[in-house]
Amino acid sequence: MGTIKKFKNYFSNIPMLGWLLGVFTAVLIEYYWGYDYISYYLGLPKIPALFGALFMLKDPYMIPGVMGYNLIVYIIPILLIAKITTFFTNPTAFILEKMPLWLSVIIHLICFYGILHLWAGINDYRALVVKLTMISIILTISINVINGYQGEFSCSHPGFMAIGAYISSVLTLLFFVDDKIFGAALLPSYLGPWIFPLTLIAGGFAASFGSLIVAIPSFRTRGDYLAIISLAFMFIIKSAIENIQFIGGARGMGGQPDYATLPVIFIWTMLCIWIIHNFVTSIMGKALNAVRDDEAASESMTVKTRKTKMTAFMFGAFWAGIAGGLFAHVLSYINPGTFSLTRLAEILAMVYFGGLNSIVGSIVGAVSISVLGEALRPLELYKWIIIPLILIFVMIFRPYGLISFKEINAKRLLRSKNKKEEGV
């Protein structure tokens, strides 16, 4: 115990900027020497995509190689560089601290994105995993508004996602692509990436209008009953799409252009985190919590419960619609079967694993379930034993999820860690 504490203490004076610099160095090392030198001499066939989990599980002989790779490429450079550069990262962080918080956050985010872009660019598989993980983050945060902050149990998220996915796909196919369903493109295709956000927003609005079907009964029912209504809504959407022939019915719809690139998804994810954070910390967000804790009491304390519930539902559904639109353009194919019970189970697992009532928790949940699902891929069937087991243990020991009812303070996270200056 003592050594861990000492270890932690030793690295405690590194600001976020220092860590970012360390990771940046690690990624650079991987980028320039990863394939030709490091993985070659360690006997690995390629650069390990997800820290070597796939190699290790497939061939135990590669475990030392993978461990060595992770040590040489990630752990040692990150710790070393982060520690060495504290002499100037701390003062820089101090300067950033004096700036307005939003500016400092944006600078950090740009640095973070640069690193992420470089890291994901090494391998297309990695990029795809990162993209889908970020979409999961949007989904998880948006369901957290309903299931966490408002405390309902809504099961209609795949339905909202489907509406968003279909509406934005129809729009992009109609306007920018020559395809079999809608014929020639109505607008020149170079406009596509610029108008794509609008189609996403249209999908989001369509989803939030769809959510009214769930929101209105939610005035009268709570708990199990609402769960059933929202589940029914999901199935209604699925069957409706199956029976609408001109958007492909059960055959699905394909050929969406590749507009959902990594920067696009990253920007949407950050927007989502920022806007939802503002939403839940606003008066409306407090009202949501009040409705969750005691509806009658909050009504008597002048909270408009109807309006609150409706807004929360429409707001959550809007972001689910955005996520659906992004999802459709990452995969270039959607069919109604994609937005069904399995998807629901996945989303619910992410939000309950990560933690209710917490944006950070949602991010942790989405990332860990997505990455675990990918990393344990070689185990095939056993993957579906291990992940649920982890979920069960989390539920036993932390019934509200890993990080629940907690928010991270951006200012504290980004501040300079120099103890002398702290003392001043």
Partner 1 sequence: MKKITCLLIVSFAFAMVFSTSAFSARKTIIKIGINAPLTGDIPKVGEGSKFAAMMWLEDIEKAGGLEIGGKKYDVELVIEDNESKAESAVKANTKMITQDDVIAIVGPQSSSQAVPAGEVANKYKTVMISPWSTNPNTTLDRPYVFRGCFLDPFQGPVVSNFISDEFGLTKAAVLYDVAADYQKGLAEEFKKAWEKRHGAGSIVAYESFTTKDTDFSSQLTKIIKSGAEVLFAPQYYNEVPLVVQQAKELGWKGPIVGSDSWGSTETVQLCGEACYGLYFSTHYAAAGATGATKIFIDRYTDTYGYVPDDVAALTWDALRLAEQAIKDAGKITGRIEKDRQAVRDALAKIKNFAGITGNMTFTEEGDPIKCAVIVKINDKGEYEFFKSICP
Output the smallest distance, CB 59 to partner 1, in A. Answer: 8
Containing 333, the helix (H) or strand (E) segment is strand 333-334
List b or e across 316-350, with b for residues whose CB sees 16 or more CB atoms inside 10 angstroms: bbbbbbbbbbbbbbbbeebbbebbbeebbebbbbb
Which residue's CB is nearer to partner 1, number 42 or number 356? Answer: 42
> Does residue number 40 form part of the binding site for partner 1 (CB under 8 A)?
yes
State the distance between the two ends of the chain, measured CA to CA, in whole angstroms: 32
**Residues 98 to 127: which contact partner 1 by CB under 8 A?**
123-125
381 binds partner 1 (CB under 8 A): yes
Query: Is 285 among the residues that bind partner 1 (CB under 8 A)?
Result: no
Stretch that binds partner 1, among 77-85, 200-208, 325-333, 404-412 (CB under 8 A): 325-333
Please state the closest distance from residue 27 (CB atom) to partner 1, in A.
17
Instruction: At 201, list the tokens.
Output: 């927003």
Q: Does 239 participate in binding partner 1 (rule CB under 8 A)?
A: yes
Residue choice 26, 29, 42, 310 for contact with partner 1 (CB under 8 A): 42
Q: Is 377 in the site for partner 1 (CB under 8 A)?
A: yes
Give the phi and the psi of residue 13 in degrees, each rounded to 5.
Answer: -95, 20
Is residue 337 involved in binding partner 1 (CB under 8 A)?
Answer: yes
Binds partner 1 by CB under 8 A, chosen from 84, 261, 332, 400: 332
404 three-state secondary structure: coil
Q: Point out which span in 104-112, 161-169, 170-178, 247-255 binds partner 1 (CB under 8 A).
A: 247-255
324: contact with partner 1 by CB under 8 A: no
φ, ψ for residue 419 (rounded to 5)? Answer: -65, -30
Return the range that interacts with partner 1 (CB under 8 A); candidates 102-110, 147-155, 195-203, 373-381: 373-381
B/e letters for 110-136, b = 16+ CB within 10 Å, e = fewer, are ebbeebbeebbebbeebbbbbbbbbbb
61 binds partner 1, rule: CB under 8 A: yes
- Given CA atoms 134, 202, 110, 107 in this order, what sign does their dihedral have? negative
Site membership for partner 1, residue 249 (CB under 8 A): yes
Rounded to whole angstroms, the Cα distance separating 124 from 205 reads: 32
Count the site residues for partner 1 by CB under 8 A. Answer: 47
Select from 272, 334, 349, 375 the one that contacts partner 1 (CB under 8 A).
Answer: 334
Q: Report the Cα 211 to chain-centroid distance in Å.
A: 21
**Member of 15, 18, 22, 65 binding partner 1 (CB under 8 A):** 65
178 belongs to the binding site for partner 1 (CB under 8 A): no
Q: Which residue from 10, 32, 37, 64 is in contact with partner 1, where contact means CB under 8 A?
A: 64
- Among 23, 38, 54, 310, the residue binding partner 1 under the rule CB under 8 A is 54
**How far apart, in Å, are the Cα atoms of 298 and each of 221, 225, 232, 280, 357?**
17, 21, 29, 17, 18
Stretch that binds partner 1, among 56-64, 193-201, 208-216, 260-268 (CB under 8 A): 56-64
Task: Determine the interface stretch with partner 1 among 23-31, 160-168, 188-196, 248-256 (rule: CB under 8 A).
Answer: 248-256
- Compute the distance between CA of residue 363 and CA of residue 406 in angstroms, rounded to an integer: 12
DSSP 302-323: T--HHHHHHHHHHHHHHHHHHH
Minimum distance, C-beta of residue 146 to partner 1, in the bound complex (Å): 23
Question: Does residue 185 belong to the site contacting partner 1 (CB under 8 A)?
Answer: no
- CB of 31: closest distance to partner 1 in angstroms? 16
CA neighbor of 115 nearest in space, from 22, 39, 16, 15: 22
333 binds partner 1, rule: CB under 8 A: yes
DSSP secondary structure string for all residues of 341-356: HHHHHHHHHHHHHH-T
Closest approach of partner 1 to the CB of residue 290, in Å: 38
Surface-to-core class of residue 153, CB atoms within 10 Å of its CB (0-12 exposed, 13-18 middle, 19+ buried)? middle
Q: What's the residue count for the chain? A: 424
Indicate the residue among 20 and 62 with the shorter CB distance to partner 1: 62
204 by DSSP, 3-state: which? Answer: helix
In whole angstroms, how close is the CB of 178 to partner 1 at the nearest point?
Answer: 11
Residue 36 or 224: which CB sits closer to partner 1? Answer: 36
Q: How far apart are CA 424 and CA 416, in angstroms?
A: 13
Binding status of residue 45 toward partner 1 by CB under 8 A: yes
Residues of this chain that bind partner 1 (CB under 8 A): 3, 40-46, 49, 54, 61-62, 64-65, 67-68, 123-125, 128-129, 132, 238-239, 242-243, 249-252, 254, 327, 331-338, 342, 374, 377, 380-381, 383-384
